[in-house]
Amino acid sequence: MYWPVPASWTPHDEAELVAGWRLWLELSDRAWPTAAWDGTPAGAVAQLRELLAACDEIETAYRAAAREPSPGFLSLTQGLAVTAGSAISLWFDDVDPLDGERAALLHDDLVRFAEQAEQVLTLLAVNGGWARLDEVRRRPA
């Protein structure tokens, strides 16, 4: 399942800017499995589960800090949850090593989330004022 990313986002207050910054930091670091991945589908989506927990904490803190939470920002975190949730629900309990066919299916599910995460990262960076930092993050080593 895919949730469309808004075409634009403007932080309405300090609380939303801080929440956007925190979301950008989390997405920058957790969109793909790390080198510590155990090679199972469950291990691959475990990192997505951790990311969703961080997104939930960011959204909760934002709702508490904002006078009037912005539907635009909330759609970013909720869209990530919907997109990641479909991959998590398919793979969370699959602890068998991957074969070629299942690896391709898992990759497709992770790509759907990663593409959405990249769109959200770009939106946050451009409109949050840290586009230059985002360019450095994307630069090859």
Closest CA to 113 of 124, 121, 103: 121
Tell me how many helices (H) and strands (E) the chain has: 5, 0
1 pLDDT above the threshold of 60: no
Predicted model pTM: 0.87
pLDDT, tens digit (0-9, with 9 covering 90-100), for 25-74: 999 887 677 888 888 999 999 999 999 999 999 999 999 999 999 999 99
92's tokens: 């969370």
**Hey, where are the domains in the chain?**
14-138
Dihedral angle, C-alpha 93, 99, 104, 108, nearest 10 °:
10
Runs of H (alpha helix) within 36-70: 41-65
Dihedral-angle region of residue 117 (phi above 0 means left; psi in -120 to 50 means alpha; beta otherwise): alpha
Q: Which residue has the higher pLDDT, 59 or 128?
A: 59
Provide CB contacts within 8 A for 107, sequence distance 6+.
none
Confidence of residue 141 (pLDDT cuts 50, 70, 90): low
* pLDDT at residue 16, rounded to an integer: 96
Q: Which residue has the higher pLDDT, 139 or 92?
A: 92
Are the CB atoms for 112 and 55 separated by under 8 Å?
no
